[in-house]
Amino acid sequence: MKEKAMQKLEFFDETFDPDRTATYELSIQVSLGGFSLCIKDLTRNLFIGLASCAFNHPTVSP
């Protein structure tokens, strides 16, 4: 049995400020293969963060 490496992608704008979360909107999507999220700055109407992470699933080799 092999284990697949976890794939993770993250992109955050330099304007992202963890102290301003009241002005951000968080959207999360979960699937069988992993999850994704995006962060939107509601003041400027711009997406300032994107992330995606695949779950670690063992694979069976023949």
Each residue of 1-47: pLDDT tens digit? 455 555 788 999 999 999 999 999 999 999 988 999 999 999 999 99
Q: What is the predicted pLDDT for the residue at 59?
A: 57
Q: Residue 58 and residue 46: Cα distance in Å, rounded?
A: 37
**Residue 41 near residue 3 (C-beta atoms within 8 A):** no
pLDDT: which is higher, 58 or 14? 14
25 to each of 4, 52, 55, how far by Cα in Å? Answer: 32, 17, 24
Its domain, for residue 18, covers: 2-59
How high is the pLDDT of residue 51? Answer: 96
Q: Provide the pLDDT for residue 5.
A: 56
Q: What is this structure's pTM? A: 0.73
Domains held by the chain: number: 1
- Tell me: pLDDT of 52 over 70: yes
